[in-house]
Each structure stands twice: as structure tokens, then as C-alpha cells.
């Protein structure tokens, strides 16, 4: 960890998750993984928790005033930075072995992986319940941490009003399908029709004909396949610009990113996700039900298995 000349909060012993303009931090799902991890560590260590989100201005969509670091900064100098992007094990030994964790006035984290699990292997916290605690934090994501604004909720309501038994389907095909100048491909775009047919059978077994489908993807070319499979009148789709938070913005309106994740998380009765996508994972983890399945083969998914794509407590 290194020094940072950024002004600090007036409160002592604070942990801050930071999304700033100078670093690549991952998309919304990656960032939430890091946010929940640091919030849980803060709670266990009885330290203050704050969010510093300056990479984009998301306050039109989500209210995090309760934890907003920018509202509370002071002029202290006792600050350390922990830069651990895409490196989950960098803090592993420290969290597992140290008994004087993060003793600075403020520790700022640039982090997008699930590291809180290692603290539960520390002898000081071995009697605590990791799964209970972290799943409780995820359940509070959209009710306490990132609270949707009236603007976002109005747009959500226009999409889902009057819809019953909403089935969420999230398909991560790869950055190559967005205006992101990336070559990342997942392979999920293959055999979409057959996979949607299997999902349709599942929906009809569970709900008969009384259900709607909310669909989100990074590949606009497969939206038509969803209309073909379920019928356009049954499909809910936020038809605005597809973007990735950590890529160059192609539209100043970022609402779709947050609308899609919020609906997947808070408005569905059944959810099918791309397990290689943290966007889908955090929607599942923060949802108020456990009816979670894989988009690829419709197999049931345990939330515990979605907490980390890298090393896991399990």
C-alpha cells in the first residue's frame, strides 16, 4: 500500500472504496463486488465505510449520500491507498494473519474482487458467519447502499408496470458487441435460440402462460431472438444505448446500466444469468429470491457459488 495526497475525511479509521477517473475498475458488477467486500470488512473491523465515485456522475440514477466520501472529506494526511484491481490474493495473507488491520486514518481501496472472505479466516473472526454476513450486505445493495432515485424508478415503472411473474434473462456475449473497441467474446451468442426454447419450457412449467420476460444483453443482435421465442408482447426490454461503465462512454445517458441491473435484482421472480458475468452475479446475489439459474443449461445456481469468480471460500 502507498501514500496518497488526496484530502481525507475528518472521521478516523475509515475504509473507502474508490472509483476514480484515472483507473480501470471494471464494469458495474465488478465494482459492486469490491464495494460489498469493503463494506463487509468495515463492519467486521468496526470502521466507517465510504464510497468515492468520481469516474462517472451516477447521482442522477443512484443515491449513496449516506456513504458519500466527497461530502465528508477533510484535510488530514494519514491516508493509505490499496491498489488491488483484478488481484484478489494481494490482500489474502494480510487479512488472514494480521491483528492490526488498516490502522490508518483512511484507507482507500481500488478493488474489484471478493476479499472479505479472507478476514473470516483470521483467528479474530473465525466464529463469524461469512455467508450470512455477505449475503445480508448484498440484500441491502438497492435498499441502503445504492438507492435508486425517483428518476430511475420512474423509468423502471414504465417498463414493468402491470407485469406479473417477471423472468429475468441476462446474456453476456462480450465487449466486441458493444462500441468498446474490445475483442472480448464469451461464446454465449451461440445457440441462443435453443437455449431460449429451454428457458421458455421452464417458464411455462412454473407459471403457465402468466409471465413476462425481462431481457438484458450486451449484444443487441440477439434481442430479436428473444422476441421470436417468447412473442414481443411478453418481452420487457430497455431499448436504449448498451454501454459498459469501464469503457469510453458512447452516450451521456447511462441509465440502462442501472435500470437493467435493478430490474434483474429487484423485480424478477426467476432469474437466468451468464455465470461468467459479475453484472449477472450481483443481480442474483442482491435479489430477494433464490430462483437463480444458468442461462447456458438452466441448472440451478446457489448464491454461495456466485460470490467470487476467482478463489472462493467454498
The DSSP annotation for 102-147 comes to --SSEEEEEE-S--HHHHTTSTTSTTS-HHHHHHHHHHTIIIIISE
Q: What is the number of H-type helices and E-type strands within the chain?
A: 9, 12
- What contacts 171, CB < 8 A, 6 or more positions away? 188, 189, 192, 215, 216, 217, 218, 219, 222, 274, 295
Domain of 294? 157-306
- 258 & 283 share domain: yes
- 116 & 177 share domain: no
- 236 & 301 share domain: yes
- 136 & 254 share domain: no
Query: Is 314 part of any domain?
Result: no
Query: Is 121 part of any domain?
Result: yes
The predicted pLDDT at position 173 comes to 79
Cell representation of residue 198: 429451454
The predicted pLDDT at position 74 comes to 61
Cell representation of residue 286: 442482491
Query: Is 311 part of any domain?
Result: no
- 87 & 179 share domain: no
- 161 & 143 share domain: no
- 128 & 250 share domain: no
- 83 & 33 share domain: yes
Crossing angle for the helix pair 192-207 and 223-230, to the nearest 10 degrees: 40
Domain stop point among 148, 167, 195: 148
Domain stop point among 88, 115, 148: 148
CB 40, CB 120: distance < 8 Å: no
Length of the chain: 314
- 290 & 236 share domain: yes
Query: Is 88 part of any domain?
Result: yes
- What contacts 197, CB < 8 A, 6 or more positions away? 229
pLDDT mean for each 10 residues of the chain (314 residues): 45 87 90 98 96 95 96 74 92 96 94 96 95 98 98 98 96 66 58 93 96 94 95 96 74 90 98 95 97 96 95 73
**pTM of the shown model:** 0.91
Match 443482435 to its residue by C-alpha cell: 221
Query: Is 236 part of any domain?
Result: yes
The total domain count for the chain is 2
244-261: string of b/e by CB count within 10 Å (b at 16+)?
bbbeeeeeeebbbbbbbb
- 112 & 12 share domain: yes
Domain stop point among 104, 124, 148: 148
Query: Is 89 part of any domain?
Result: yes
Q: What is the rounded distance in angstroms from the CA atom of residue 148 to the CA atom of residue 270?
A: 21
The predicted pLDDT at position 36 comes to 98
The predicted pLDDT at position 237 comes to 97
The predicted pLDDT at position 186 comes to 54
- Classify the phi-psi angles of 53: left when phi > 0, otherwise alpha if psi is within -120 to 50, otherwise beta: beta
- 203 & 297 share domain: yes
CATH code for position 232: 3.40.50
- 167 & 138 share domain: no
Q: Which of 128, 118, 127 is nearest to 97 (CA)?
A: 118
Query: Is 118 part of any domain?
Result: yes
Query: Is 312 part of any domain?
Result: no
The predicted pLDDT at position 4 comes to 45
Amino acid at each position: 500500500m502507498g501514500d496518497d495526497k488526496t484530502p481525507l475525511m475528518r472521521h478516523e479509521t475509515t475504509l473507502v472504496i474508490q472509483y476514480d477517473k484515472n483507473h480501470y475498475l471494471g464494469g458495474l458488477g465488478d465494482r459492486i463486488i469490491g464495494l460489498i467486500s469493503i463494506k463487509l470488512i468495515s463492519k467486521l473491523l468496526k470502521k466507517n465505510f465510504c464510497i468515492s465515485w468520481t469516474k462517472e456522475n451516477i447521482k442522477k440514477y443512484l443515491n449513496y449520500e449516506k456513504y458519500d466520501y466527497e461530502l465528508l472529506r477533510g484535510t488530514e494526511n494519514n491516508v493509505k491507498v490499496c491498489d488491488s484491481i483484478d488481484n484478489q490474493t494481494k490482500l489474502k495473507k494480510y487479512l488472514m494473519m494480521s491483528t492490526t488491520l488498516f490502522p490508518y486514518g483512511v484507507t482507500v481501496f481500488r478493488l474489484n474482487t471478493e476479499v472479505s472472505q479472507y478476514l473470516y479466516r483470521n483467528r479474530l473472526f473465525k466464529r463469524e458467519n461469512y455467508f450470512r454476513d455477505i449475503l445480508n450486505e448484498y440484500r441491502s445493495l438497492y435498499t441502503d447502499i445504492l438507492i435508486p432515485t425517483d428518476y430511475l424508478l420512474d423509468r423502471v415503472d414504465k417498463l414493468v408496470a402491470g407485469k406479473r411473474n417477471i423472468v429475468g434473462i441476462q446474456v453476456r456475449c462480450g465487449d466486441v458487441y458493444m462500441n468498446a473497441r474490445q475483442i472480448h467474446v464469451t461464446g454465449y451468442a451461440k445457440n441462443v435460440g435453443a437455449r431460449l426454447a429451454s428457458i421458455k419450457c421452464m417458464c411455462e412449467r412454473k407459471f403457465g402462460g402468466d409471465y413476462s420476460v425481462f431481457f438484458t444483453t450486451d449484444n443487441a443482435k440477439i434481442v430479436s431472438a428473444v422476441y421470436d421465442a417468447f412473442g414481443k408482447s411478453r418481452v420487457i426490454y430497455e431499448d436504449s444505448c448498451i454501454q459498459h461503465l469501464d469503457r469510453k462512454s458512447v452516450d451521456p445517458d447511462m441509465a440502462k446500466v442501472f435500470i437493467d441491473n435493478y430490474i434483474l435484482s429487484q423485480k424478477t421472480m426467476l432469474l437466468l444469468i451468464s455465470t461468467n458475468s459479475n453484472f449477472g452475479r450481483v443481480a442474483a446475489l442482491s435479489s430477494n429470491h433464490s430462483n437463480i439459474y444458468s442461462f447456458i443449461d438452466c441448472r440451478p445456481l446457489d448464491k454461495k457459488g456466485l460470490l467470487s469468480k476467482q478463489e472462493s471460500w467454498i
